[in-house]
Structure 1
Amino acid sequence: MSRTRFDGLPPGKVVSHLGVMLLVAVVLGVVVSGLAIPFAGVLGFSARNVSESVDDLPQQLETEQLPQRTEVQDADGKTIATLYDQNRVNVPLRQISRTMVEAIVAIEDFRFYQHGALDLKGTMRALFTNQAAGGVTQGGSSITQQLVKLTLLNQADTDEERKAATDDTYGRKLRELRYAIALEKRHSKDWILERYLNTAYFGDGAYGVQAAAQHFFSVNAKDLKLRQAALLAGLVQSPEAYNPTRNAAQAKVRRNVVLDRMAQLSVITEADADKAKDRKLGLRVQEQPNGCVNSQAQFFCDYAVRWLMTDPALGATEEERRRLIFNGGLTVRTTVDLRFQKAANDSVSSHVYKDDLAVGGLALIEPGTGNVKGLAQSRPMGKRKGETFLNYTVPTRYGDAAGFQPGSTFKAFVLASAINQDIPLSQRFPAPNPGRFPLNEFQTCEGPYQSSEVWMPKNSTSSSSAPNLYEGTQKSVNTFFINLEKVTGICEPWKLARQMGITELTKANIIPSFTLGVADVSPLEMAEAYATFAAQGLHCDARPVTEIADAQGNVLKKYEKSCTQVLASPVANAVNDVLRGVIGPGGFGAALYPGQPAAGKTGTTNGNNSVWFVGYTPNLAGAAMVAGVNPQGHPESLDGKSVGGRTLYSSSGSTTAGPIWGDAFGVIAQWLDDIDFTRPSTTDIRGLLFTVPAVTGKSYDEAKALLEGLGLNVVNGGTVDSAVGAGLVAYSAPGTGARLAAGDTVTLFISDGTPKKKKNKGGGTPGTGDTGGTPGPGDTGDTGDTGDTGPGNGNGNGNNGNGNGNGG
């Protein structure tokens, strides 16, 4: 046989053939048997050099966890998106059909269970055949050797490591041999075969047999039939060359080769092989979408992923967190309700079209939990015209969009502060039009506002000359609220807004026009803030994820709700009662009534750059927004723009943004429990509140007993860094002196005895800017509603005035 193979070969080819044979003998002598080297000095190698090079190689191959796709699920466990760098789902060998196992062994390494790490017969057979043919016609690597190569390539982090894993050199072959021997020593044949079937690339983006079975045939690996298994087994040799979705003819030829080999080895009968060969490929291709762009909750999904990316528990660096999220085979259980999401999507897209020079958005959040139930915006995710990757519904750190000014929706924070300061709901304040307000009469957190300017804002709505809190809010009277803010001061409303979820407010926003809306915010922030009113003063941080589990189903982390009482419940109840007037008879939002108790507030910025409606029932809060943008993406007036198929000659929170909220809530109401708000007492909360006593330094049980004796609910907030003795209460939230009522919640934080380290924030302090200056030009320099003149915001440049807000 050997003599016949050499017949007709050129002399050089014969020499090459013999040389390779001798080299193999040397390598096998050193690596496999450990016996004396039968040949030396072959093709420049000495036995000593080969032996030393092998001894220098690592003894073990570390097999890291294979990258697997992550599933993002809705609140009910339905998959809404998959995330992956490699589309793979690991399965144990027992969940792979026996036919598939037989097919892959037959075509790749039929003596797999008889030989060790190296199949000597197979290697020599392939060597002779390839040398005689002048090229590679047979593969000689065992499944174990193939697994080593795939593992090294899969775990390569750099181009240099990837090159080393694929170099066609004897050094690489030696290394693979050493690793293969180590694998065979450490693991069973079944483990190696299972790992191989889960590691191998089958083409068309499918890694591992489970993903391949799902992709090409829409079945699980355990259900693969003969012709399906034969096709997949044939793909691993050259996944793209035999890709059945692109090269069906070549794929069928390769499948039939596998069937013939199985019949030759008596794994199947000749009749079974012939019957399968006569059949079509039987593809039922099922694409596995990657990323949030393919989700029916695109921007919610994107928000959830970016929210997880900020969690240090998932990795020390952003890259480590990303690797876990996209390669960890996680199951991410979120809070989204797809019924709510669809209602939001339908409402937003029907009122603002994707190609409009405007952006519409709606955020939905559950009071008392912070669960984000849906996020929708008019521009879908993508790169085409009318699409974007900017998430306009969430804060900048989660979506990159800068937000929009909220107008009169900020008046609710002044209203709540006034009620908290015992100002009766029946108290009246002047509402001149225009008003005249010396700016130094307003109190900031550091004393009187430093300006000698006089502010002369106007009203866009009519009311009595001195409305009370009900009328002033229902009619959204600018000068009424400015007079109210003079009494409350700016500091308390500013702090309250931050406590309720508008966390990106800065000291530059503590200006007289605060009540008219001075900071760029997102719909999610406004929904979170107003949900606090619905939850009777209990603020809960927005939460898109409840838990994540690993590929085996073990819960890695639960995300518990994070809630703090920031307003006494009677104060929140009073706010709810006042804001019900906005959706009640005579209110700007009366037409938006969703069929069950609801409250809300409109908001419009001067020039109609953005319009808002933030509304809520006792069990769901939502913030709708429509903002004008120019072709470059910068804010500009909605006036004159075609939005949702109609030209806006004027716009307002109630007529432009309100219908988005109203239509969505009109659908969602059927799934909400029919409950009502708690009415405030006839004394308008006066006399119902008491102050939280000091509990720092007390034991948890002692502090809990004291607070519960006052009728308060007590929650353990866990341990924190504190100089207070370990195990004792470090502080409470709300803190000492806060005014609450029976039934409100106080969270106790326990000291771990370690003083909190001071952080060097670095950088200088914010510039003071032109305090009290007139409004400046630009997107952030909009004046107050209908000609209001806003004071400068002191942003360091002194150019951007903020006097936003209007009546409706």
Structure 2
Amino acid sequence: MLLVSAILGVLVAGLAIPFAGVAGIAARNAADSMQDLPADMEEQALPQRTRILAADGSPIATIYDENRVNVPLRQVSKVMRQAILSIEDYRFYQHGALDLKGTLRALITNQAAGATVQGGSSITQQMVKLTLVQQAKTDEERRAAIDDTFARKIRELRYAIAYEQNHSKDWILERYLNIAYFGDGVYGVQAAARHYFSVDARKLNLQQAATLAGLVKNPVGYDPTRYGDRAVTRRNTVLDRMAELNVIPQEKADKVKARSLGLKITPNRNGCLVSAAPFFCDYVINYLKQDPALGATADEREQLLKSGGLTIHTTIDLRFQKAATNAVEGHVYPRENAIGALALIEPGTGDVKALAQSRPMGTRKAAGETFINYTVPKEDGGARGFQGGSTFKAFVLAQAIRQGESMSEMLPAADPMTFRESDYLTCGDEPYGYGSFSVPNSTGDGRPKNMYSGTQQSVNTYFLGLTQKTGICKPFKLAQDLGVNLTNPTGGPEGSAERTPNFSLGVADATPLEMAEAYATFGARGMHCDSRPVTKIDDANGTEVKSYPKTCLQALPKAVADAVNDVLKGVTAPGGFAQYIAPSQPSAGKTGTTNSANSVWFVGYTPNLAGASMIAGADANGSPSSLIGKVVGGRTLYDASGSGTAGPMWGETFKAVEQWLDDETFVPPSADEVTGVLVNVPSVAGRSVDEATAILEGANFEVAVAPGMVDSGYGRGLVAYSSPGSGVPSSSGDTITLFISDGTPYVKPKKDKKGKKNNGRDRGRGR
């Protein structure tokens, strides 16, 4: 080793120092340096790009620090291997770590020129240098890896010897082809082949291979996207060298040299900014950065995502994403002082199907661009959200049903009404306070309401009365259980209180993702599932390294959720505020409008898809302000509402995607388990009293029989009709009265000449 070190020290010193007057000193230092260096260099995995895929397997984003895709040597075309060996180290398979002939040739050339004009490094030495650069963690380490010094060359040579001892030539060539930089942001032969020629490395032809082989010497100076003429000259040099070595005939080299480069560029698409779903992509990355299984710190997890060569399988449906994006962009424009946002989630799985917002991703504030994700909560890399308005009434509604309040009970709903704080109990069953406050209505007619009518008309004072029954603690806790991130229940330095008597009016902030997740629980019959953007992660070899199963818990009894659905169906049914935006499939939902119309919402769902649509007034930094007087979607708003302003975005999205949704219906609520649920009265006309009674009692009604008989075409003793009549919605437990036929059809009373009814029999119809 000492002898070899001394000889190599002279040779390498001659390459590093044009005039080898210090060769003797260099040789002595080389011997010492070679002995001091470790025998092996740590073999770290090469950084590779990570792909993010949609649910159907189509790519939505690529993220990386180095745009590289490792491939085995067998997947690199033969002509590419020949080209790189011809121009860089044609005796690679004949020599060891150092090519003595090549080194001597370079030494003589450099001595004659008085400068370093030719390198003598073997492919193994070059691979070592590239590895040292790639593994450098500081600027000092990077400079040391490329400095043209005697010490650096000795270090490279020692490591090269170790590589040659421990690995095959094919392994070294494979690593070299994968680690080399090919310019324009691409590393490794596979990424270079895809970028410059849109082919895989195994399909590279002679013309393409010669071009790529020529780049590794000076990937910046020969960059074909910037310096086409230089790249052609360098390619031709490679072709001539291949002909000189009899790898290819000279005639073939000349034929290819006459051609252009034949570039077919596939653009580098690094990061979420160029994704088809940029804010969903951003959500995925922030979601995974919170997973301790991917690293001890957020920085380590991010590094893994950018260099681990992972394949991330997500839940997004690009058809749904396109529909949501079109709807949002059509209703709120980027540079307007408003934000439109929409999130879609699948009930029963929590799969996030789409996230869309009106402000595009980017840095150009003048164009309305931003990196703030308004669709997701702060902990997932988003914003704190905007006040949810009356969409929070659903939580009070669900809690009231869960604790057994009658859905048909009428409560005062005057406009306005004054309420006492002492009538609202906190989590400690103590009065909220001892003052009073007044609440107005923006809808309703001032008459008493039950859960159905109070919700359909979104009557504030009705829900303030209902909250007296539930207390303010349980609806608040229920909203948290359903996925709404309520973190400031009692106010204080961080902001105003969220757990207050008027909680149902939506004083708390929320994001579309949170509200879609919460309402998806109703659609899934009380099964709450955490929002899930990722299903699994594969490593660079395609092996699954982490799965993300759905995380679901039964947050509400099925009967309670069914009853909530039954009530919220009235919002999208004829007579409801959202009747004109509803899709053809069964749907339910709730509108929301805040004071001063700072934000308006519509949160709606079918049995298999939930969506939250929001438009909020906001300046360029996202600070809340009223929508009134602002230009939104190209027109000035003089009023704003959940159904009329935010609702159309939701409606357009659901009408576009319902073609891909299975036709499902909501399960009718069980009157045995829910008090006061409305049920359509069954038709019993023409049946015996016993049959009619059995049918009605089976539908959870009480039955009474009216005295006497009435005219009817049905047989005597059969039921003529009921009151309430067939098809009339009535509360479970209500009494249905049966009227019995006397067997004689009804005859309309005759009038005398003066237009008065005669005194003949006038048996009441009761219809």
User: Partner of 1:410 in structure 2?
Assistant: 392
* Structure 1: runs of 5+ lacking an equivalent: 1-22, 33-39, 689-808
User: Partner of 1:478 in structure 2?
Assistant: 460
Distance in 2 (CA, whole Å) between partners of 1:47 and 1:630 is: 70
Question: How far apart are residue 30 of structure 1 and its match?
Answer: 9.6
Q: Equivalent residues in 2 for 1:399-438 (5 A)?
A: 399-438=381-420
Secondary structure of the corresponding residue to residue 116 of structure 1:
coil
1:357 equivalent to 2:337? Answer yes
User: Partner of 1:675 in structure 2?
Assistant: 664
1:585 equivalent to 2:567? Answer no
1:283 equivalent to 2:255? Answer no
User: Partner of 1:602 in structure 2?
Assistant: 591
Evaluate the alpha carbon distance shift between residue 146 and residue 253 of structure 1 in structure 2; reply closer, same or farther with a 3 A threshold. Answer: same
Of residues 464-473 and 362-371 in structure 1, the stretch that sits farther from structure 2 once superposed is 464-473
Question: How far apart are residue 631 of structure 1 and its match?
Answer: 3.7
**One-letter code of the match for 1:225?**
N
Distance in 2 (CA, whole Å) between partners of 1:120 and 1:455 is: 94
User: Partner of 2:275 in structure 1?
Assistant: 295
User: Partner of 1:85 in structure 2?
Assistant: 65
**One-letter code of the match for 1:465?**
R
Evaluate the alpha carbon distance shift between residue 83 and residue 632 of structure 1 in structure 2; reply closer, same or farther with a 3 A threshold. Answer: closer
Distance in 1 (CA, whole Å) between partners of 2:213 and 2:621 is: 52
Contact in 2 for aligned 1:370/1:543 (Cα 8 Å): yes
Contact in 2 for aligned 1:441/1:448 (Cα 8 Å): no
User: Partner of 2:745 in structure 1?
Assistant: none
Distance in 2 (CA, whole Å) between partners of 1:346 and 1:686 is: 42
Evaluate the alpha carbon distance shift between residue 27 and residue 453 of structure 1 in structure 2; reply closer, same or farther with a 3 A threshold. Answer: farther
Distance in 2 (CA, whole Å) between partners of 1:429 and 1:687 is: 14
Give the length in aligned residue pairs.
Answer: 659
User: Partner of 2:235 in structure 1?
Assistant: 255
Contact in 2 for aligned 1:602/1:653 (Cα 8 Å): yes
Contact in 1 for aligned 2:592/2:600 (Cα 8 Å): yes
1:494 equivalent to 2:448? Answer no
Distance in 1 (CA, whole Å) between partners of 2:624 and 2:527 is: 34
Question: How far apart are residue 168 of structure 1 and its match?
Answer: 1.3
**One-letter code of the match for 2:200?**
N
Secondary structure of the corresponding residue to residue 127 of structure 1:
helix
Q: Equivalent residues in 2 for 1:187-586 (5 A)?
A: 187-384=167-364, 385-463=367-445, 465-508=447-490, 509-586=498-575
Q: How large is the Cα RMSD of the aligned pairs?
A: 1.8
Secondary structure of the corresponding residue to residue 569 of structure 2:
helix
Contact in 2 for aligned 1:199/1:207 (Cα 8 Å): yes
Question: How far apart are residue 50 of structure 1 and its match?
Answer: 3.0
**One-letter code of the match for 1:477?**
V
**One-letter code of the match for 2:550?**
K
Normalising by structure 2, we get a TM-score of 0.84
* Structure 2: runs of 5+ lacking an equivalent: 13-19, 491-497, 678-767
Question: How far apart are residue 25 of structure 1 and its match?
Answer: 8.2
Paired residue for 2:611, among 619, 622, 625?
622
Secondary structure of the corresponding residue to residue 67 of structure 2:
coil
Distance in 1 (CA, whole Å) between partners of 2:653 and 2:31 is: 74
User: Partner of 1:160 in structure 2?
Assistant: 140
Distance in 1 (CA, whole Å) between partners of 2:567 and 2:59 is: 41
Evaluate the alpha carbon distance shift between residue 319 and residue 489 of structure 1 in structure 2; reply closer, same or farther with a 3 A threshold. Answer: same
Secondary structure of the corresponding residue to residue 625 of structure 2:
coil
Q: Deviations over 1:655-711 (max 9, x none)?
A: 0000000000001111101110001123462499xxxxxxxxxxxxxxxxxxxxxxx
User: Partner of 1:704 in structure 2?
Assistant: none
Evaluate the alpha carbon distance shift between residue 276 and residue 615 of structure 1 in structure 2; reply closer, same or farther with a 3 A threshold. Answer: same
**One-letter code of the match for 1:160?**
E
Distance in 2 (CA, whole Å) between partners of 1:589 and 1:484 is: 23
Contact in 1 for aligned 2:10/2:23 (Cα 8 Å): no
Question: How far apart are residue 48 of structure 1 and its match?
Answer: 5.1
Distance in 2 (CA, whole Å) between partners of 1:198 and 1:50 is: 30
Question: How far apart are residue 284 of structure 1 and its match?
Answer: 0.7
Contact in 2 for aligned 1:505/1:519 (Cα 8 Å): no
Distance in 1 (CA, whole Å) between partners of 2:449 and 2:262 is: 76
Q: Deviations over 1:404-435 (max 9, x none)?
A: 00000000000000000111111111112111
Q: Deviations over 1:435-459 (max 9, x none)?
A: 1111121011023334222111101
Q: Using the aligned pairs only, state the percent identity.
A: 61
Secondary structure of the corresponding residue to residue 547 of structure 1:
strand
Secondary structure of the corresponding residue to residue 283 of structure 1:
coil
User: Partner of 2:117 in structure 1?
Assistant: 137
Evaluate the alpha carbon distance shift between residue 247 and residue 405 of structure 1 in structure 2; reply closer, same or farther with a 3 A threshold. Answer: same
Paired residue for 1:75, among 41, 45, 55?
55
User: Partner of 1:794 in structure 2?
Assistant: none
**One-letter code of the match for 2:287?**
W
User: Partner of 2:748 in structure 1?
Assistant: none
Contact in 2 for aligned 1:41/1:47 (Cα 8 Å): no
Secondary structure of the corresponding residue to residue 591 of structure 1:
coil
Question: How far apart are residue 169 of structure 1 and its match?
Answer: 1.0
User: Partner of 1:656 in structure 2?
Assistant: 645
Secondary structure of the corresponding residue to residue 383 of structure 1:
coil
User: Partner of 2:749 in structure 1?
Assistant: none
Contact in 2 for aligned 1:293/1:382 (Cα 8 Å): yes
Of residues 428-437 and 530-539 in structure 1, the stretch that sits farther from structure 2 once superposed is 428-437
Secondary structure of the corresponding residue to residue 443 of structure 1:
coil
Q: Deviations over 1:24-51 (max 9, x none)?
A: 983427999xxxxxxx994562755432
Distance in 1 (CA, whole Å) between partners of 2:348 and 2:5 is: 74
Question: How far apart are residue 472 of structure 1 and its match?
Answer: 0.3
Contact in 1 for aligned 2:214/2:238 (Cα 8 Å): yes
Distance in 1 (CA, whole Å) between partners of 2:423 and 2:71 is: 71
Instruction: Report which of the two structures shows the higher radius of gyration computed on alpha carbons.
Output: 2
Contact in 2 for aligned 1:334/1:547 (Cα 8 Å): yes
Contact in 2 for aligned 1:242/1:251 (Cα 8 Å): yes
Question: How far apart are residue 632 of structure 1 and its match?
Answer: 4.2
Distance in 2 (CA, whole Å) between partners of 1:367 and 1:160 is: 53
User: Partner of 1:146 in structure 2?
Assistant: 126
Q: Deviations over 1:42-96 (max 9, x none)?
A: 4562755432221111110112111111110000110010001111100110110
Question: How far apart are residue 261 of structure 1 and its match?
Answer: 0.4
Question: How far apart are residue 510 of structure 1 and its match?
Answer: 1.6
Secondary structure of the corresponding residue to residue 382 of structure 1:
coil
Secondary structure of the corresponding residue to residue 360 of structure 2:
coil
User: Partner of 1:695 in structure 2?
Assistant: none
Paired residue for 1:57, among 31, 34, 37?
37
Question: How far apart are residue 507 of structure 1 and its match?
Answer: 2.4
User: Partner of 1:732 in structure 2?
Assistant: none
User: Partner of 2:704 in structure 1?
Assistant: none
Distance in 1 (CA, whole Å) between partners of 2:32 and 2:10 is: 10
Secondary structure of the corresponding residue to residue 507 of structure 1:
coil
Distance in 2 (CA, whole Å) between partners of 1:52 and 1:99 is: 42
Question: How far apart are residue 126 of structure 1 and its match?
Answer: 0.7
**One-letter code of the match for 1:574?**
A
Distance in 2 (CA, whole Å) between partners of 1:360 and 1:101 is: 53
Distance in 2 (CA, whole Å) between partners of 1:649 and 1:679 is: 40
Q: Deviations over 1:113-132 (max 9, x none)?
A: 00000001101101111221
1:99 equivalent to 2:99? Answer no
Evaluate the alpha carbon distance shift between residue 50 and residue 642 of structure 1 in structure 2; reply closer, same or farther with a 3 A threshold. Answer: same
Normalising by structure 1, we get a TM-score of 0.80
User: Partner of 1:180 in structure 2?
Assistant: 160
